[in-house]
Amino acid sequence: MKHAYDHYLSQTAKELQPSGIRKFFDLAATMEGVISLGVGEPDFITPWSIREATILSLEQGYTSYTANAGLLELREEITNYLATRFGVQYDPNNQIIVTIGASQAIDLAFRAILNQGDEVLIVEPAFVSYAPLVAIAGGKPIPVSTSAANGFKVTAEQIEAAITEKTKAILICSPNNPTGSMLTKDDLMELTTVINKHDLLVVSDEIYAELSYNGDFCSVAAMEGMYERTILINGFSKGFAMTGWRLGFLAAPKEIAACMLKIHQYTTMCAPIMLQRGALEALRNTYHEVESMRNSYRRRRNYMVQTLNQLGLECHTPGGAFYVFPSIRSTGLSSEQFAEELLVQEKVAVVPGHVFGESGEGYIRCSYATSMEQLQEAMRRIKHFIETRKKVLCPTAAQSTIQS
Ligand SMILES: Cc1ncc(COP(=O)(O)O)c(C=O)c1O
């Protein structure tokens, strides 16, 4: 039906699809007793000393704008952090921008580099904002599908096959949302050869860098030949349990950073000063808390992977982030049906894999950033859901499986 406002609205905005994650989240919010494995958000509260530093900064009257790129003190601390944790050296004066979450950094990156029709390769399954943000910036998102057989890792051949003369950049997210897959140094080495050969830029979403369980996280910018072509994106949301603070940052070659800063200064001005002061405390004094959260996620990951496999939902062991991405093909349901029926029948909210791209069909994303008790209860309900379904489909076979 043609809407009265149709001719006022931008074609690009009209064509955007609402996020598939929100749909399930909103539905779950209308029901009681739902266990949500749907949202990608730490169940921990931001460490106290970060909150305290922010409260103190308000008491001390820190209420003004900051430099567009953020407090120099914070940019210096971010520079230290990137150098000591990931071995990449930046200049705080002209290579770092403090943003409103990694979300804004991704938006800035695409706006700064894309001309109309430029193509961006997006390794799928992928976080839901990438393709819409490419489209908003006038570019064309080109999906490159990965599969469980390859641990959801993209290969150099796949990238090479997707490149055209219009390809400007590739978006890489490791550790990955939704699959949890990690690209090791060796994996990246293979990819960078093609990226260099075709002179592409990389938008590297490293928001889950602190949540790498085998300690083998490697920043794309640290790889040989990649520093000059990488826009590194990171932030405080996940590792430091600061989602609601909306604080992220980016690091890039000077010319690209300068271009992004122009857009940032007109659209955003700067991130809130009191939160930037809290972030200073995060980078200076809270690694022990980040580590303790990481250890807790690791225990939950191990539990989830083991239990899902026991239930017949084949699940690879993710190297990072806080998601598992099990296959639900054995149930004969599509991911949308599985997620919907599970929510209605057992009150467990998960995200159907197809919202992360076509290659996510046949999978569901479960976030394990929730308490162990909740996870155990969710697994009991999923077990019940699967057993009930088996009984309906094949009463005698189900009987023997359940008894065994
Ligand atoms: C892969 C990925 N990138 C970026 C973001 C956005 O992070 P922020 O809260 O810093 O905007 C998320 C949030 O879920 C994410 O999963």
Give distance in angstroms: CA of 103 to centre of ligand 1: 6
Picking from 286, 301, 324, the residue at the C-terminal end of a domain is 286
In a domain, 393, yes or no: no
Same domain? For 87 and 210 the reply is: yes
Domain range for 295 is 8-45+288-385
307 and 236 together in one domain: no
In ligand 1, the atom with minimum distance to the C-alpha of 235 is 10
Cα angle 292, 298, 301 (rounded to 5 degrees) comes to 145
Q: Answer yes or no: do 277 and 337 share one domain.
A: no
What are residue 249's phi and psi, to 5 degrees? -155, 160
State which of 265, 286, 307 marks the end of a domain: 286
Same domain assignment for residues 222 and 302: no
Q: Is the pLDDT of residue 48 over 60?
A: yes
Same domain? 369 vs 299: yes
Which numbered atom of ligand 1 lies nearest the CA of 105?
Answer: 11
Tokens for 229?
A: 């072509």
Whether residues 269 and 323 fall in one domain: no
Cβ atoms of residues 236 and 279 within 8 Å = yes
Q: Is 125 helix (H, G, I), strand (E, B) or coil?
A: coil
Cβ proximity of 197 and 281 under 8 Å: no
pTM of the model: 0.94
CA of 241 to the centre of ligand 1 (A): 12
Confidence at residue 402, expressed as pLDDT on a 0 to 100 scale: 37
Q: In this structure, is residue 377 part of a structural domain?
A: yes
CA 102 to ligand 1 centroid distance, Å: 6
Residues 21 and 61 reside in one and the same domain:
no
| Bond before 143 cis per omega within 30 degrees | no
Domain membership flag for residue 402: no
Asked if the structure places residue 398 within a domain, the reply is no
Task: Count how many domains the chain has.
Answer: 2
Same domain, yes or no: 92 and 175: yes
Mean pLDDT, rounded, for 283-297: 97
- The CATH number of the domain holding residue 41 is 3.90.1150.10
15 and 128: one domain? Answer: no
Q: Tell me the C-alpha to C-alpha distance, in Å, between residue 69 and each of 3, 73, 259, 261, 363.
A: 41, 11, 12, 7, 40
Q: Is residue 392 part of a domain?
A: no
Instruction: Encode pLDDT of 330-387 as tens digits.
Output: 999 999 999 999 999 999 999 999 999 999 999 999 999 999 999 999 999 999 999 9
Residue 107's pLDDT is 98
Q: Are residues 231 and 95 in the same domain?
A: yes
Ligand 1 binding pocket includes 40 (Cβ within 6 Å): yes
Whether residue 263 sits in one domain with residue 155: yes
Helices 20-29 and 335-346 meet at what angle, rounded to 10? 10
Look at residue 13 and tell me whether its pLDDT is greater than 70: yes
As a whole-number percent, the residues of the chain with pLDDT over 90 amount to: 90
Specify if 401 maps to a domain: no
In a domain, residue 342? The reply is yes
Residues contacting 337, CB < 8 A, separation 6+: none
196 and 292 belong to one structural domain:
no
1 domain residue, yes or no:
no
Among 213, 290, 280, 212, residue whose Cα is nearest residue 245? 280
Residue 242, ligand 1, Cβ within 6 A = no
- Where a domain ends, among 286, 306, 326? 286
Q: Is the CB of 362 under 6 A from ligand 1?
A: no
Pairing relation of β-strands 230-235 and 35-36? unpaired
DSSP single-letter state for residue 247: -
